[in-house]
Structure 1
C-alpha cells in the first residue's frame, strides 16, 4: 500500500516537476555537438513576417529545436532587430541564438533567390518572386496576364498549377517573363519525369492541385486522391459533387483557407464551388509539388468517399466509406477542436 501511494504521489508530481525543470533549464535547444550534424538549408522570410512567424518557420524546417529557443533569444535582443524579407542560407540543428545571428548576418542573405512552398497559389508566387528579386510586382502581374510565352495547355486561363514549388536563384537583370518561364519549365520537367503525356498535363495538374490543398500527411495524399476519384464514379457517388471546401475558398479569393461558410458553399456563381457544380473542379487551385503529382497518378486502392482530419496537430485523418462512419469521425474532430481550439 505504501509503495502504491508513493507511485501515485510521484505521478501526481510529474507535471509540476516537469514544468519546474523546463522553467529552470530553458527551452529545448540544439547543442554544439548536435549542430555539427546539421545540413545546409534555404529558408524564406516573407514580407511582414513577425518574430513569431519566423520562429515557427525555423521550427518547421528543423533549423531550431523549439519555438522558444529562437523566440527567447529574439526577446533578449535590444534593440529589437528588423528582419529583411528574402531567402537565407542557414543550416539545420542550430541553437536559437545561432539561428538569430545567422539571419541577421547579411552574408547569409541570398540575393535573387526565392523559395516557393508547395500549395502556394499563383498570386502569392508572384509576390514571392518580387520580394526575392529586383522585379516589380506590377511587371510580374503584367507578364502573368499574357499566357502566350509559356506553352501552357489550351485549357489554362491563368498560370495556376504550373509554377513549380522549389528554390530558385535568378541572374541579375532577369525579366518578369523569364522568371515565370523558369518556374513553368520546371513544372513541365516534373511532369515529364514521371511520364505524364503533354495532353494529360492539364488533368494531372488539376487533380494534383486539389490533393495538395486537401491532404496533410504523406501517405494520406494517395488516399485523398482516391476519395476524389471515387466521387467522380457514378456507381459510388451519384451526385458527382467533389464537395471540397478548398475549391470553394479558392473561388472566393481566399487562397490561404480550406474552410468556408454555408453561404459560400451555396453560391452557384462561384465556378470553383464543387458543392454546386459536379465533376472535377474547373481549374487548378494551387501549385502542386512532386508528391501531389505522384498521388494524382497513383491513387491508393480503396472505396473511401469521405475524410476528415481529427487532430490538427498530428494531421491524423480518418477515411470512411459511409456517412455513418464519417459522422462518427466528425464528432471526434469536433471534440478535439473543443479541447484544443476553444472559441473565445
Structure 2
C-alpha cells in the first residue's frame, strides 16, 4: 500500500511535478513538525492530528497505515478497554484537528460553511462534546402529513406515531413534553393534517385543534333508496361508487336477518363523518350497526327486524307530517287485519324502480314482483327505503282509528285525508287532481 501524500503535495501549485523542490524566497518559521510550514494552518492542523494517532504496530514492514486503518485500530482498542490507545485528551485533540481540517477544506472547495455544517454537524458535535438536538424549531416545513390517532392510544403511542411520520425529530421530543405538563391533554381519535419537521409543542397544539382534524362527511336522509345512498356515500367520501356497489351486493355478510333480501332499509339515515382511509365495506357496516341500535332501542327482537323495517319504510314513503306517520301505520294494520291488499303506490313504484310520483301508472300497478302490493298479498318481501326513528316508532305504535284509505291532497303542505269508505277516498283523489292542475309540482 502506498504512503498517503503529504499536505505539501496536496497543495502543490498546478503544473509543478511531484517530487520537485521549491525553495521559498523567505524561509518559513520552524514549527517543530518535520516538513510543515508554520504559515500553513491547514498543514499544521493535519500534522498535529497525525502526531496524536497511535503508532503502527511492529509487523516487519515499513508500510504506513492510512487514517481509516488508524481509526479502526483506535476503536478496536477502545473495545478492549483502552489498552494501547492514546490518552483521552490527546485523542480528542487529534480528532478535533481532523474535523477542523475537513470542514475548512470543504469550505475552501466552495461548499461554504453552511454545507460543511449540514454534512458534518453530528461529527463536530461529537468531537466538541455538544449534545445533538432532539426537537425541531417552528411549525413545520410546509409538507403536509396525515397523522391518525386511534381510539385507546396513549401518549407514548402518539409520540411514536409522530416520530415515524417525520413530524417530530425524535420520540423523546413529544413524549418528554407530555411528561412535563401539569394536566395531560385529551386526544380525539381521527386523522389530523400536520406538517413534517414540527416542534413537539407545535405538533401538540395542532393535534388539539379540531380544525386540523380531517373528516369526510355524507348526509343520508330518510326515504331514499339504497342506490341513492350509494351515490351519496361515494360523493361524500371520495370512494368509488363501484366499491360501494360491491359492498352492498354482499348483503349477507353484515349480520342481517335471514329473511332479508338486500340491504335496502338497513342503512340508517343520518349525517356521518368518516376518517380518511375507511373502506366502503366498513362504512356500510357502520350504517347497518346504527340501524340495529335503533331497532334494539325500540325493543324490536332480531327475528322481527325485517318486518318492522318493511312497515316503517312504507310509512316513511307515504306520510308527510309527523302525526300522520302513526295514522298511516294504522291503515296498514287495519288492511292486514281484514285482510285486504295494501295497495300502496310507493310499493308499486319501487317494484319497477320508479318513484316520486303522486300517481302510479297502469304498468306500475300491474307489475308482478315481490314489492307491488296491488298484486301481492300482505307486506312486500322487504323494505323499500331507508327509515328513521320516527317511522320505526310509528310502525310499532299505530294510533287507534278506523281508517282504511288515505290520500295526500296538497304535496306542498303534506295535508292528507284519511277515510273509511271508497267514496270518501275517491273525493280525496279528485281534490289532489284539482290541486295538481292549479300547480306545477314535479310529482303531479
Short-chain TM bin: 0.5 to 0.7
Counterpart of 2:336 in structure 1 is: 232
| Counterparts of residues 246-285 of structure 1 (less than 5 Å) | 246-257=346-357, 259-268=359-368, 270-285=369-384
Counterpart of 1:162 in structure 2 is: 266
Cα distance in 1, alignment partners of residues 319 and 328 from structure 2:
6
Cα distance in 2, alignment partners of residues 195 and 304 from structure 1:
27
Q: CA deviation at 1:331?
A: 2.1
Aligned with residue 297 of structure 1, among 381, 396, 404: 396
Cα distance in 2, alignment partners of residues 119 and 276 from structure 1:
23
Cα distance in 1, alignment partners of residues 381 and 395 from structure 2:
16
| Counterparts of residues 55-66 of structure 1 (less than 5 Å) | none
Q: CA deviation at 1:111?
A: 4.1
Matched, 1:189 2:289: no
Report if aligned partners of 1:310, 1:332 keep a CA contact under 8 Å in 2: yes
Q: Deviations over 1:91-114 (max 9, x none)?
A: xxxxxxxxxxxxxxxx9xx84100
Q: CA deviation at 1:233?
A: 1.3
Report if aligned partners of 2:351, 2:367 keep a CA contact under 8 Å in 1: no
Matched, 1:324 2:324: no
Counterpart of 2:151 in structure 1 is: none
Task: Tell which has more relative contact order, 1 or 2 (C-alpha 8 A, sep 6+).
Answer: 1
Report if aligned partners of 1:121, 1:255 keep a CA contact under 8 Å in 2: no
Report if aligned partners of 2:261, 2:381 keep a CA contact under 8 Å in 1: no
Cα distance in 2, alignment partners of residues 187 and 229 from structure 1:
23
SS at match of 1:247: helix
Q: CA deviation at 1:257?
A: 4.4
| Counterparts of residues 90-239 of structure 1 (less than 5 Å) | 111-234=215-338, 238=339
Q: Deviations over 1:142-194 (max 9, x none)?
A: 11111233100111121001000001111111011100001000000011111
Change (3 A) 1:220 1:138: same
SS at match of 2:322: coil
TM-score by length of 2: 0.50
Q: Deviations over 1:34-78 (max 9, x none)?
A: xxxxxxxxxxxxxxxxxxxxxxxxxxxxxxxxxxxxxxxxxxxxx
Unpaired stretches in structure 2, ≥5 consecutive residues? 1-210
Aligned with residue 308 of structure 1, among 387, 407, 414: 407
Change (3 A) 1:255 1:310: closer
Change (3 A) 1:258 1:177: farther
Report if aligned partners of 1:134, 1:173 keep a CA contact under 8 Å in 2: no
Cα distance in 1, alignment partners of residues 377 and 294 from structure 2:
29
Cα distance in 1, alignment partners of residues 317 and 299 from structure 2:
23
User: Stretches of 4+ moved more than 6 A in 1?
Assistant: none
TM-score by length of 1: 0.64
Q: Deviations over 1:209-228 (max 9, x none)?
A: 11000100010000001111
SS at match of 2:257: coil
Counterpart of 2:22 in structure 1 is: none
Report if aligned partners of 1:209, 1:284 keep a CA contact under 8 Å in 2: yes
Report if aligned partners of 2:315, 2:328 keep a CA contact under 8 Å in 1: yes
Aligned residues: 233
Report if aligned partners of 1:249, 1:259 keep a CA contact under 8 Å in 2: no
Cα distance in 2, alignment partners of residues 144 and 255 from structure 1:
21
Report if aligned partners of 1:111, 1:132 keep a CA contact under 8 Å in 2: no
Larger Rg: 2
Unpaired stretches in structure 1, ≥5 consecutive residues? 1-106
Report if aligned partners of 1:244, 1:275 keep a CA contact under 8 Å in 2: yes
**CA RMSD after TM alignment:** 2.2
SS at match of 1:232: helix
Q: CA deviation at 1:284?
A: 0.5
Change (3 A) 1:206 1:335: same
